[in-house]
């Protein structure tokens, strides 16, 4: 049997991933292996209600911006949320109905604070960037243009209040800012977390240095994960799955 050995000095293949994959490696190696490496993939288990709420809200807000200007109203947001409501993970229909009502209030209240004429640069926009080590890609909830710069907007529906440190330390938001700036050739240093339950907007403005630190950190994590992937393949003898969200 021919075994092709890597040539000395040859560059390592780029590690293609999303910020979610990098964070999965940091948070739980076991979950990372289950999600991205094991084949056949283990059962994910029952759905979680909070994931259904978050997905339903995100879908409704994305759909709201795709409506014509005259239909961008709080009522339209509530209708989109109702029509696209995801029922998985709830204990029963009554619990689902209660959360549907809360989610309707969230989206209608939030869009009431927006200017329907202020079209974003992108909604659910996929962006990507690469270095000599990692190829990062991901999807931004909303990308705004404010003056001569772009702003990354990320919706949050969880109960926990957010702090400025959440925006400052987010690897995903920093990666999105770098990728958006690269792809659109427009500066993008500001990132925002929009917390729908409280209406609070948490903002952080990066510097070139802080964005570079995040990118270097992403490369470090990617290198660790890539080495672990290779060890896994050597033991299991099956190819690892390509980049996944």
- CA dist 169 and 193 (Å) reads 12
Under 8 Å between Cβ of 90 and 102? no
Axis crossing angle, helix 19-27 with helix 208-236, rounded to the nearest 10: 70
- Ranges of beta strands (E only) in the chain are 15-17, 122-130, 134-146, 149-156, 188-195, 200-205
Residue 97, in any domain of the structure: yes
pLDDT attached to residue 221: 96
What is the pLDDT, as a whole number, of residue 106? 95
HSE (side-chain half, CA atoms, 13 Å) at 23: 12
Does residue 107 share a domain with residue 155? no
* pLDDT averaged over every residue in the chain: 90
Does residue 7 belong to any structural domain of this protein?
A: no
Question: How much is the pTM?
Answer: 0.86
Q: pLDDT tens for residues 179-235?
A: 999 999 999 999 999 999 999 999 999 999 999 999 999 999 999 999 989 888 888
241 pLDDT band, cuts 50/70/90, is: low
Based on the domain organization, do 125 and 154 belong to the same domain?
A: yes
Q: Do 125 and 108 share a structural domain?
A: no
Domain count, the chain: 2
Residue 194 and residue 202: Cα distance in Å, rounded?
A: 7
User: Residue 232's pLDDT is what?
Assistant: 86
> Quick one: pLDDT at residue 35?
87
User: What is the predicted pLDDT for the residue at 3?
Assistant: 40
**Final residue of a domain: which of 113, 128, 148?**
113
Q: What is the pairing mode between strands 134-146 and 15-17?
A: parallel
What pLDDT, on a 0 to 100 scale, did the predictor assign at position 235?
82
Residues 159 and 224 occupy one common structural domain: yes
154 & 189 share domain: yes
Full domain range(s) for residue 20: 14-43+120-235
- Is residue 83 predicted with pLDDT exceeding 50? yes
Domain match, 86 and 168 both: no
Which band of pLDDT confidence, cut at 50, 70 and 90, is reported for residue 11?
Answer: low
Q: For residue 8, tell me if it sits in a domain.
A: no
Q: Tokens at residue 114, please?
A: 């927006």
Token pair 């792809």 in the structure block, residue: 183
Is 143 in the same domain as 192?
Answer: yes
Of 45-59, 89-103, 178-192, 229-243, the least confident: 229-243
Q: Do 136 and 229 fall within a single domain?
A: yes
142 and 120 in contact (C-beta within 8 Å)? yes
């Amino acid at each position: 049997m021919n075994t092709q050995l890597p040539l000395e000095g040859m560059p390592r293949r780029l590690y293609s991933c999303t910020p979610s994959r990098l964070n999965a490696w940091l948070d739980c190696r076991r979950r990372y292996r289950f999600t991205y490496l094991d084949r056949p993939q283990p059962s994910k288990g029952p759905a979680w209600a909070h994931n259904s709420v978050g997905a339903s809200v995100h879908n409704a807000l994305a759909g709201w911006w795709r409506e014509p200007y005259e239909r961008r109203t709080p009522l339209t947001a509530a209708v989109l949320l109702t029509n696209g409501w995801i029922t998985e993970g709830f204990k029963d229909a009554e619990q689902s109905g209660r959360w549907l009502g809360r989610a309707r209030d969230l989206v209608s209240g939030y869009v009431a604070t927006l200017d329907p004429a202020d079209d974003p640069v992108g909604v659910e926009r996929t962006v990507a960037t690469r270095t000599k080590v990692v190829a990062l890609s991901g999807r931004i909830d909303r990308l705004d243009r404010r003056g001569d710069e772009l702003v990354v907007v990320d919706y949050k529906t969880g109960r926990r209040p957010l702090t400025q440190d959440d925006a400052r330390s987010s690897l995903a938001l920093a990666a999105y800012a770098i990728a958006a700036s690269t792809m659109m050739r427009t500066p993008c240093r500001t990132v925002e977390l929009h917390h729908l339950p409280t209406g609070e907007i948490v903002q952080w403005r990066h510097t070139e240095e802080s964005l570079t630190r995040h990118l270097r950190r992403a490369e470090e994590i990617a290198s660790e994960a890539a080495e672990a992937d290779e060890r896994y393949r050597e033991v299991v003898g099956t190819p690892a799955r390509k980049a996944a969200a």
